[in-house]
Amino acid sequence: MSKSIFILLVAGFTASTIFCQNCGVETKIQENWMPKYLENLRHSVFEKRSVLVEIPVVFHVVGRNNGSGAVSKIKCLESICELNDLFLPAAIKFYLDSAGINQIADDAIFNTSYINTGKQAMRAYNKPNAINVFVVNKVSENNALGIYDPDEDWILIQKGAIGTGKKVLAHEMGHFFSLLHTHFGWDGRPWTMAYDNKQVSSLSFDGKTPTELVNRLNCSVAGDMLCDTPADYNFGLNFQNSCTFGGNALDPNGVPVIPNTKLLMSYFSDDCRNTFSEEQILVMRADLNRDERTLLYDQIPPDNRQINQIPEVFYPVLEVSASFETDTLNFAWGAVDGATYYYMVLDRSSKFDLEPIEIITTRPSVIVDFPFLENTKYYWKVMAYNQHHTCNSFSDVKTFTLKRTTSSTSVKNNVEFEVRYASQIIEISIKTIHDSLSEIWLLNASGQKVLQVKDFVVNQENKIHLFYPTIPHGVYYLTLVGNHKFATKKLWVH
């Protein structure tokens, strides 16, 4: 039996409006890891990034008790690719841990902000020797989009802030590797003309961190204490409409401040942020050399084979009515070389945004148990992936329409058969038969179709004989296809 994950998503809860760009890691939280940061800063001058480091990530997707409201799992798969693009200059590569994408149905975690939620419930899901990312409905009372918790060493992301083009997870990963905000000292409130005047004072908003100068003469003690991240007084929080900063702030010397809007550890918009500075990269690499971090990558990474194929969809593929007597329907597609998982999505909307059903399976076929609507067009598609390569091309979108019937035309319900292999012959003994039988498939244990027969004869003994002299030993699955339904039996070849 294939392992599969099945979840029904209600489109109205798969995303939420984002009103802010900040993370929940405030100054006092960053101060908690300041000793580690300063140590990493000292060691960073000796760091090199010639060796690629591969790190596993586990996503915990949180929904309500009934499973609804969780973010689409495809967003987690997209995030692996987004992270790898952004961390490529640091020679840090992320892959999906063997635990994959963990579905959690828990109203308490889903509905309550992280500050008020007991961590004990989340600890039960935490996986050691991997970066744990919890994708939740609400991170904190101040509507933060993400937070890194240094006490638990995990990350929380608001479900609307994850996926392709979203930079919040990369920002929190920077915190995971000890980085501070580029605007450290200004987390409590961004610079504004009304509160801070055009020319700021020598101390940041927190009243103790020196205000960084544009000429960088104090860069080693001000802000994030890195000298290749220009002065930033948390401008990004209030400046989201452009990647060219248009504020009028002056540093304590009266020099106009021009922040780097591309830095991921700032609060500028996702359209702007796309990089770490050289010194930030060296600090992260120094953090990876700490004893507690080596456990992340001191393990054998999974198969890194590229996936160059798009799944070939077998069934259902036709835009015609299909008969069925139950609320289950078989879906099948061709196995893809290098794939260890398949992501299938099914919906009544061609945009897959109405009431999508998500399935993750290890086999190129799955039985969906769902109350399908009669005379309704459904759309579906499949993507093959593995732990390293999670953003591959989908199959073409296929459609089918179901019509409920009680007639005896279903192969699944009305064909009973046995199959055996002997003397180079596959013998199929049919106990009951209907003229809807149209094809015979033979799939190997990997799901690859090794035989497809459309021309066959059912003899007087209700038997079909297929000559197949070159079949290797192993486990196979023989499928009888008819009227867009199919019945399958396991075949052992010794």
pLDDT (tens digit per residue) in 230-243? 999 999 988 888 89
Q: Across residues 245-267, what is the average pLDDT?
A: 94
Q: Across residues 264-291, what is the average pLDDT?
A: 96
Residue percentage of the chain with pLDDT more than 90 = 55
Secondary structure class of 447 (helix, strand, coil)? coil
Stated length of the chain: 494
Q: Across residues 243-255, what is the average pLDDT?
A: 91
Q: Across residues 157-176, what is the average pLDDT?
A: 96
CA distances from 227 to 41, 222, 385 (A): 11, 9, 41
pLDDT of residue 414: 53
Residue 442 near residue 456, CB atoms below 8 Å: no
User: Residue 376 forms beta bridges with which residues?
Assistant: 402
Residue 474 near residue 494, CB atoms below 8 Å: no
C-alpha 303/C-alpha 389 separation (Å) is 10
User: Residue 54 forms beta bridges with which residues?
Assistant: 93
Same fold, 319-397 and 411-493: yes
Tell me how crowded residue 194 is: count the other CB atoms within 10 A of its CB.
5
Does residue 50 surpass a pLDDT of 80?
A: no
Give CA angle at 239 (234, 240), nearest 5°.
120
Q: What is the DSSP letter of 137?
A: S
Does residue 263 surpass a pLDDT of 80?
A: yes
C-alpha 254/C-alpha 154 separation (Å) is 41
C-alpha 4/C-alpha 362 separation (Å) is 7
Report residue 347's pLDDT band, with 50, 70 and 90 as the boundaries: very high
The pLDDT tens digits for 475-489 are 888 888 876 566 778
Q: Across residues 291-300, what is the average pLDDT?
A: 89
Report residue 18's pLDDT band, with 50, 70 and 90 as the boundaries: very low
Q: What is the DSSP letter of 397?
A: P
Residue percentage of the chain with pLDDT more than 70 = 87
R_g (Cα) of the chain, nearest Å = 28
Give residue limits of the domains in the chain: 4-179+276-297, 182-262, 319-397, 411-493
Q: Across residues 62-85, what is the average pLDDT?
A: 93
The pLDDT tens digits for 206-223 are 999 999 999 999 999 999
Q: Which CATH superfamily is domain 319-397 in?
A: Immunoglobulins (2.60.40.10)
pLDDT of residue 443: 81
pLDDT of residue 260: 97
pLDDT of residue 478: 86
* Residue 325 CB burial class (10 angstroms; 0-12, 13-18, ≥19): middle
SS (H, E, C) 2-70: CCEEEEECCHHHCCCCCCCCCCCCCHHHHHHCHHHHHHHHHHHHHCCCCCCEEEEEEEEEEECCCCCCC
Q: Across residues 90-97, what is the average pLDDT?
A: 96
Q: Across residues 9-37, what is the average pLDDT?
A: 66
Does residue 349 surpass a pLDDT of 70?
A: yes
Looking at domain 4-179+276-297, which of 3.40.630.30, 2.40.240.10, 3.40.390.10, 3.40.50.720 is its CATH number? 3.40.390.10
Looking at domain 411-493, which of 3.40.50.720, 3.40.190.10, 2.40.10.10, 2.60.40.1930 is its CATH number? 2.60.40.1930
Report residue 300's pLDDT band, with 50, 70 and 90 as the boundaries: confident
C-alpha 313/C-alpha 333 separation (Å) is 4
Secondary structure class of 425 (helix, strand, coil)? strand
Does residue 64 surpass a pLDDT of 50?
A: yes
Chain centroid, CA 301 distance in Å: 18
Report residue 22's pLDDT band, with 50, 70 and 90 as the boundaries: confident
Q: Please give the helix or strand (H or E) that residue 378 lies within, else none.
A: strand 376-385
Does residue 320 surpass a pLDDT of 60?
A: no
Residue 222 near residue 213, CB atoms below 8 Å: yes
Which token pair is 283?
A: 């600090």
Give CA angle at 285 (283, 288), nearest 5°.
115
Q: Across residues 161-167, what is the average pLDDT?
A: 95
Does residue 294 surpass a pLDDT of 70?
A: yes
pLDDT of residue 259: 96
Does residue 12 surpass a pLDDT of 70?
A: no
* Mean pLDDT for the chain overall: 86
pLDDT of residue 278: 96
User: Residue 442 forms beta bridges with which residues?
Assistant: 451, 478
Q: Across residues 56-64, what is the average pLDDT?
A: 94
C-alpha 36/C-alpha 290 separation (Å) is 9
CB burial string 98-119: b at 16+ within 10 A, e below: eebbbbbbbeebbebbbeebee
Give CA angle at 419 (414, 423), nearest 5°.
150
SS (H, E, C) 230-290: CCCCCHHHHCCCCCCCCCCCECCCCCECCCCCCECCCCCCCCCCCECCHHHHHHHHHHHCC
Tell me how crowded residue 398 is: count the other CB atoms within 10 A of its CB.
20
Closest CA to 368 of 341, 333, 330: 330
User: Residue 409 forms beta bridges with which residues?
Assistant: none
* Residue 375 CB burial class (10 angstroms; 0-12, 13-18, ≥19): exposed
Closest CA to 409 of 375, 373, 433: 433
Does residue 190 surpass a pLDDT of 50?
A: yes
Beta strand 416-422 pairing with 425-432: antiparallel
pLDDT of residue 447: 66
SS3 content of the chain, % helix, strand, coil (to 5): 20, 30, 50
pLDDT of residue 172: 97
Report residue 321's pLDDT band, with 50, 70 and 90 as the boundaries: very low
C-alpha 93/C-alpha 85 separation (Å) is 9
